[in-house]
Amino acid sequence: MRITLLGGTGNIGEGLALRWAPKHDVVIGSRNAEKAEEAAISCEARLSKEGITCVLNGGENAQAIKHSDVVVIALQYQFAIPTAVAIKDQLQGNVIVVSPVVPMTKDGFLRYVPADKYGSAAIEIQAILSNNDVVSAFHTTPAARLIDLKDTLDLDVLVCGSEKPKQTVMELIKDIDGLTPFDAGPLEASYMVESITPLLINVSARNRMKNSSIRIIGQSIE
């Protein structure tokens, strides 16, 4: 699949680029085409050091989304919303949009602050990109763990969205060794998942930890 990471020069974008590039056609997006191309070359070099040969591409955000199957909005909330507005008209209707976006603010501790009108970043992005399916995922996946290619991941990823696009994104998550996707419901359930991120960061800060994440513990029903 062709996957574009808007803001792919940043933390979660770089992590996903590195982990998906061996199996997919990854395009790094940026406000600056040159910066995107440099990030793509840097990812190739990082992977090459691990004995993995693959080609990544880079381009300005609006160019980078062309011909994509999946677009990940790897941007802080305050930039994700205007960027979604900016790309709306260029985005083909069959493109699945993935939101790892968490609206947070620090006021003594981190608080989850989605826009009242929408209740979650994913629903707000879906309202803007009304011709596309938005799926929310990766909110509890620490970028630093994705970026460290020597890290053997063992993380669960909660995924919200409509059935068909959600299944596609869950398959993409399975393509990253050590990530297990869990269906967390429709996109309307995203507020619950997004709100776990500030909780994890607050727990980390108070308990001398970093890169906290989640595992789902349960017993299978046959």
**Residue 139 lies near ligand NAP (rule: CB under 6 A):** yes
Tokens for 205?
């800060």
**Residue 198 lies near ligand NAP (rule: CB under 6 A):** no
What's the half-sphere exposure (Cβ side, CA atoms, 13 Å) at 172? 30
CA atoms of 32 and 13, how far apart (whole Å): 15
Task: Report, in Å, the least distance between residue 33 CB and ligand NAP.
Answer: 10
**Residue 161 lies near ligand NAP (rule: CB under 6 A):** no
Report the interhelical angle of 33-49 vs 11-20 (nearest 10°): 50
Task: Report, in Å, the least distance between residue 5 CB and ligand NAP.
Answer: 9
**Residue 2 lies near ligand NAP (rule: CB under 6 A):** no
The single residue listed with the structure tokens 């600056």 is: 32
Tokens for 216?
């789902």
What's the half-sphere exposure (Cβ side, CA atoms, 13 Å) at 144? 4
Select 76 or 167, whichever has its Cβ closest to ligand NAP: 76
**Residue 58 lies near ligand NAP (rule: CB under 6 A):** no
Give the interface with ligand NAP as residue ranges (CB under 6 A).
7, 9-13, 30-32, 35, 74-77, 79-80, 83, 100-102, 138-139, 141-143
